[in-house]
Amino acid sequence: MTTHSEIYDITIIGGGPVGLFGAFYAGLRGMSVKIIDSLPELGGQLTALYPEKYIYDMPGFPEILAKDLVIQMVAQASRFHPTICLEERAELLEQQADHWILTTGAGSQHKTRTIVICAGAGAFTPRKVPAEGLDQFEGRGIFYSAKDKAQFAGKRCLIVGGGDSAVDWALMLEPIAESVTLIHRRDEFRAHEQSVCQLKEGSVQIMTPYELRSVQGNGSLGSVTIYHNKTQEEHQLPVDAMIVSAGFIANLGPLKHWGLELQGNAIKVDHHMQTNLSGVFAAGDVCAYEGKLKLIATGVGEVCAAVNYAKHLIDPSAKVFPGHSSDMTLPSLEG
């Protein structure tokens, strides 16, 4: 067991976009900052699952690839030189007289005065669809996410799903694939209206309400059988690659045993973004309150509130509202 002696002002659990902005903002408030993340790279789901997806709802970016947004947010978070610990899963939380001790699966103990949990949806595994032969071709033509859209160039592609991810993948692959077909088990889509309009105006073949029945191939994916879930009529489609975008099953994992008040699979917070444990805050998709919207744009606002109230908790003489950043002198990005 490795115990780090320094007690940080704030430790952020999760290196996704919300955690990264929280690290920047805590640095802005003069706090010593540590980021702990279980993944090998910063960026959370944007890096691990959706690097080639366009993000349209971040202020200042009409559109930006998820991987490019991560690059910008990492640069911003690094401005105040936070300590970054990757491939460490937060396992155990213990309270001491004036700080917390966070033990990770890597066998390290981290001391911190406050914590902001920005763990997104927690540990996530892809939601599978009940289709014969699906497991046989995973990684050999069947994917749940992809880091490089170029691998689909010139291929006959099938997208399964009706949410933002499914529609985004269809739109991204349309210019480079030989053909793109999207099937969805409902007639209506759950994706953003503008994206659905763009989809319907393009060349993607849209088939609703269809579901996947079975997949076939010889060593790699070669075709699929789909069926109309109202008439049961079947079609066989030649397919070289398929992306299943049926969502992910989230799990808070060890966080569920920390004594936090939960609301479903999320952590309940008050209007200060504080949990029922003093000095422990949460922001982003991992937290729950009345009227909660799960967007990056709202998450970065939540983490600002969490950081500011954490600062005031550590130092009651510090104002919750620090003033505008345009009135501050910041270190250069190169520094």
Sequential pLDDT tens for the chain (335 residues): 687 889 999 999 999 999 999 999 999 999 999 999 998 999 998 988 788 888 888 999 999 999 999 999 999 999 999 999 999 999 999 999 899 999 999 889 999 999 999 998 776 678 889 999 999 999 899 998 887 889 999 999 999 999 988 999 999 999 999 999 999 999 999 988 999 999 999 999 999 999 999 999 998 999 999 999 999 999 999 999 999 998 877 778 899 999 999 998 899 999 999 999 999 999 999 999 999 999 999 999 999 999 999 999 999 999 998 877 766 666 766 65
Assess if residue 333 is contained within a domain.
no
What residues contact 24, with CB distance under 8 A and at least 6 apart? 73, 76, 77, 79, 80
Domain end position, chosen among 246, 279, 312: 246
Domain end position, chosen among 246, 277, 301: 246
Side-chain half-sphere exposure of 251, counting CA atoms within 13 A: 8
Residues 59 and 70 in one domain: yes
Residues 255 and 312 in one domain: yes
Spatial distance between the Cα atoms of 1 and 119, rounded to a whole number of angstroms: 24
Domain end position, chosen among 182, 215, 246: 246
What residues contact 133, with CB distance under 8 A and at least 6 apart? 214, 215, 216
Asked, as a colleague might, if the bond just before 209 is cis with ω within 30 of 0, I would say: yes
Q: How many domains does the chain have?
A: 2
Assess if residue 310 is contained within a domain.
yes
Residues 207 and 237 in one domain: yes
Q: Which domain holds residue 64?
A: 2-124+249-327
Assess if residue 279 is contained within a domain.
yes
Assess if residue 33 is contained within a domain.
yes
Q: Using CA of residue 41, residue 151, residue 224, residue 211, what is the dihedral sign?
A: positive
Element (H, E) at 235: strand 234-238
Element (H, E) at 45: helix 45-48
Which CATH number belongs to the domain containing residue 295 in this structure? Answer: 3.50.50.60
Q: Using CA of residue 97, residue 14, residue 274, residue 83, what is the dihedral sign?
A: positive
